[in-house]
Amino acid sequence: MTYNDLIFLPHPNGGGLQARHIFENGYEISVVCGRYYYSTPKLDLMFGDEYEAYEVAVFSPQGDFVTPEFIECYGDEVAGYLNRDEISDLMTNIDCNSKLKNKSIVE
């Protein structure tokens, strides 16, 4: 599973797009983009591939935010401005459940 497998749909909160995936281990990734998110450009575009960077959240099987257990979030519950390769790497780590607490893949 990589970024290329994600399907972006209109975000349920209105404005922007969201792609979600639940892994076999029960963890879930949410990738969002649009004018209200940590994404580039800060516009509401029609397709996920039109963005260069995305906001990402990771949820435990219980539905709790666990993003910081996988990637540095700088005090937030989400990671911002991740590119497609960084999202694919994060998805691999989630799938393997090899937590990277306090290690950033974003330089």
- pLDDT for res 78: 98
What is the C-alpha to C-alpha distance for residues 29 and 22, in angstroms, rounded to an integer?
7
**Can you give the residue ranges of every domain in the chain?**
3-96
Residue type for position 97: N
Pairing of strands 79-82, 28-33: unpaired
Report pLDDT digits (tens) over 54-65: 999 999 999 999
Per-residue pLDDT, 14:
86
Q: Name the pTM for this structure.
A: 0.89
> Strand order in 9-10's β-sheet?
9-10, 17-22, 28-33, 54-59, 79-82
Note the pLDDT tens digit of each residue in 67-101. 999 999 999 999 999 999 999 999 999 998 744 44
Question: What pLDDT sits at residue 87?
Answer: 98
Q: What is the mean pLDDT of the chain?
A: 91
Count how many Cα atoms sit within 13 Å of the Cα of residue 63 in the half-sphere of its side chain: 0
